[in-house]
Amino acid sequence: MRLSDDFIDEIKARIRPSDLIGRSVPLKRQGREFVGLSPFKKERTPSFFVNDDKRFYHCFASGKHGDVFTWLEEMEGLSFMEAAERLAGEAGLRLPDPDPQAAEKSVHRKSLVEWMEAAQAFYQRALFGPAGETARTYLKSRGLTGEDCRRFGIGYAPDGRTALKDELVTAGAPVEDLIECGLLIQPDTGSPYDRFRDRIMFPIHDPRGRLVAFGGRALSKEARAKYLNSPETPVFHKGSVLYRYPEARKAASDPKQDIRGLIVAEGYLDVIALARAGLEHGVAPLGTAVTEDQIQLLWRAGGEPVMCLDGDGAGRAAAFKAADRALPLLQPGKTLRFAFMPEGKDPDDMLREEGPNALRAVFTETRSLADLLWEREVNLEPLDDPDRRAGFRRRIRALVSQIADTDIREEYKREFDTRMEALFGARPKSGFQRRGSGRLPRLGATPGLKRAARPAPGAADARLLLLAVIEYPDIALDQVETLALLPLGSLDSLRDAVLDACSSGQSVQTDTLRARLAEAGYAAMLKRLDGERGPMRAALGGNEASLTSRTEAWTRLAAAYMERSEAQRRRDEIRARLNEEIGRDDSESVRRLVEAWRRETSRSEPS
């Protein structure tokens, strides 16, 4: 529906920007304007101005400018129509209905929402009444107080077959409406009965803040479904709603929030745990994988939402599914990031067992969508023969081709090409490279010297070795001399920073080491290295390997890497001398150097 310019102007005339904006930004009158600190950037001197006469705000610190509509869109992530509906209500106006039939449907939907609100009031009374004792005991065991239950609107559906039905019908609700909004079930034969019985009830609101559905957690172990959601109704579409989205969107718009973007957890209690830990911008899908509509909802509240998932196989599978679903939708500034809980724990467990700081620490380091997809494809099968490597390259190309945005697609192609070159080495160039007519070809140009075209060994091994000592700092302490001697090229400075962090000789925790390295300016390098976690752990014997076996495996890998690096150094030296002699046309010197090259490469070739 398109609003007329007259209607938009009427809203602007009735809503003063200083009144709306002043609710969240302290403003002081300065002449004919209001001034305050920028809500978009941290500053000491006010540079944010609001002018009621001209009906706009302007922030000189960030360059942002707009009216009451753009303010709600910017600060609360509302769509234009959502902002219009909010402002029209405040202005005492009613949004025009496109046609009489639509108006009638709108009235009916509103009545359904009103019965949903009446149901929630009933569920909350039941929770704190005699019938809710078992539910209160369970919630208390999960660390929730009565105040928490009120804050999050938690209730209890009694075990009676028609407890809710009797309450609402007595209050005047038509049975047909209660069936239509999913509160009652109409069997093939017999009378309608309550959909939710003996369940803890969580209210679900749509992006406009309307109560449109419930999620119910069974208390009985014999229940066929542990969690039961409302069915699809005229006011509820499961794939277009996220649990606690209105509250999370508002929290995410706070410029003082240190973690930007929404956090997507797996369940209701996980979202509540995040909120209790101070992370109010948590949401959850409703028992299904994240849909395209839900991803768009997430992006409306911030461009880089974080998928918070369990660290087990099911959690990683859910992460891969979300990554695949988001890939075609990516746009500049709109992506997904991923954080994994320690295996066997969810946010609720961590909050109860380790406290809010431990839970918040999970989100200090997140993984990119590109990292996640790369890890999945690298670990799908061993890449130890040409056929498998070709299949791997094809899968990567197929992923990149799904991206609709041309700029994003090109960046992903460039990123994955760089990673493949680091993993497999640069592809050799074909043909001869001559310095001049009649001269000998440069080394590597002839089939007899084709080994020279191979890249310097160990780019991937260097990353693996360094990532291993960051992931397992005790290896660095045990093998400090070997680590110091490794020729790591562009990673030398990061290796030195690891040695500095471990210089006390005392054991250092992985999280502490990573924090120190990030503070030293290596956060981006760490993020790139994290793409090798899967291969690194496999090379050290897997997740269950002991520290002793990991250290032994690392030592073997380091020794082999050093040997290959030294062999490469000797070959590089011969190659440099050979190219010099080729320039002088000294055939005897060239012959001796070619023989030396052949001996060196045959000695380095695996038997």
Instruction: Summarize the confidence of residues 189-199 as an average pLDDT.
Output: 94
For residue 10, give Cα distances in angstroms to 1, 57, 144. Answer: 17, 18, 46
Percent of the chain with pLDDT over 70: 85
Architecture per CATH, domain 103-236, reads as Alpha-Beta Complex (3.90)
Q: Which of 41-55, 97-111, 514-528 has the lowest mean pLDDT?
A: 97-111
Q: What is the 3-state secondary structure (H, E, C) of 16-47?
A: CHHHHHCCCCCCEEECCEEEECCCCCCCCCCC
Q: With both helix axes pointing from N to C terminus, report the angle between 386-401 and 406-424 in degrees, rounded to the nearest 10.
A: 160
Query: 448: closest CA among 607, 606, 591?
Result: 591
Q: Evaluate whether 80 touches 72 at the Cβ level (below 8 Å).
A: no
Predicted confidence band of residue 102 (pLDDT cuts 50, 70, 90)? low
Q: In sequence order, what DSSP letters do the residues of 135-185 get, joined into one string?
A: HHHHHHHTT--HHHHHHTT-EEE-SSTTHHHHHHHHTT--HHHHHHTTSEE
Residue 243 carries which DSSP code?
B
> DSSP H helical segments within 355-458, as ranges?
356-361, 369-378, 386-401, 406-424
Digit-coded pLDDT (tens) for 500-509: 777 666 677 8
Predicted confidence band of residue 140 (pLDDT cuts 50, 70, 90)? very high
Report d(CA 29, CA 65) in Å as an integer.
19
Predicted confidence band of residue 429 (pLDDT cuts 50, 70, 90)? very low
Report d(CA 416, CA 422) in Å as an integer.
10
Domain 459-604 has CATH 1.10.260: no
Mean pLDDT of the chain: 83
Instruction: Summarize the confidence of residues 230-251 as an average pLDDT.
Output: 91
Instruction: Summarize the confidence of residues 276-287 as an average pLDDT.
Output: 91
Task: Please tell me the number of Cα atoms within 13 Å of 564 on its side-chain side.
Answer: 18
| Model pLDDT, residue 384 | 84
Rg of the chain on CA atoms, in Å: 31
Task: Please tell me the number of Cα atoms within 13 Å of 64 on its side-chain side.
Answer: 16
What tokens does 345 get? 């724990």
- 174 or 108: which leads in pLDDT: 174
Instruction: For domain 261-424, give the CATH number.
Output: 3.40.1360.10
Instruction: Summarize the confidence of residues 256-279 as an average pLDDT.
Output: 86
- Domain coordinates of the chain in residue numbers? 5-90, 103-236, 261-424, 459-604
- The fold of the 5-90 domain, in CATH, is DNA Primase; Chain A (3.90.580)
